Structure 1
């Protein structure tokens, strides 16, 4: 479902007028069009199927490299994401870290990135975004456990209210074996630092 660009342009003009600005002055004349393009990009995930990237799986035992069976978690760190907070329509951005214990089927790592991008491209709150990512992977991929750790900086914290420029928010969503804190401790340690190349 695409955003209604024409309507966004009209409403942006109205918003500019509501704050006392002249939407026809040179610096603002193209702003309604730019905002419509921005919203089309930022909210591309509205109505999109976040599970679609997980549909193509690879058999672990019968796949192209059965000698490389994962004996533990598959961990993808530092997936950059950006979203828009549904409370103030201000951006928040950071990193998502995803780990899962594969069963018989695995998925290409790019598919995990697409899940994050699709779900982040909606009006969101970070807590729900992490839970949605975990649910999407858990429900659509053969896993024994899923862990999603998100670390983000929120415009509603850094640019308004208390204006805490250095504050970030960390959330954790766990499914399956990773609901046990001891099972996820090693992964959280790896996400938090480890030896990064």
Structure 2
């Protein structure tokens, strides 16, 4: 798992150096304040298929699939310690400048509040077409990719907490 640790350290370092802009533009996020249409209540938890905003990103969770034992090809891949949960997410930059999408800033939770981080190495294999979750997205552009969580076999994820950067408040998306 040295690759995972190295990638996480690189991502954290880049965010700390200013590649992530923080959560300065919270229209529609769970951080409170006034929304884009004068709504003064914080956004509610989104559901699968509904857009949810945090900072400069609008996230739409397309699907989730758990119980996956391996990602990648028969030649190159990663095997789950327990089971992989594959969460397909579309991310659109709704800001006015490029924003770094950092997969390691995304979290998943069980009903009892246990927190799980993404498996960066497995995410590379699950997103073979491109490096989706360590990617700078220009304003108005969007990417779709897979977040991978390695969780115990008997565990069920109930929500995601999605962030536009490591320092943002995040927005919740219910998985069940």
TM-score w.r.t. structure 2 length? Answer: 0.29
Query: Looking at CA atoms only, which structure, 1 or 2, has the larger radius of gyration?
Result: 1
Point out the structure with the larger strand share: 2
Higher RCO (C-alpha under 8 Å, 6+ residues apart): 2
Point out the structure with the larger helix share: 1
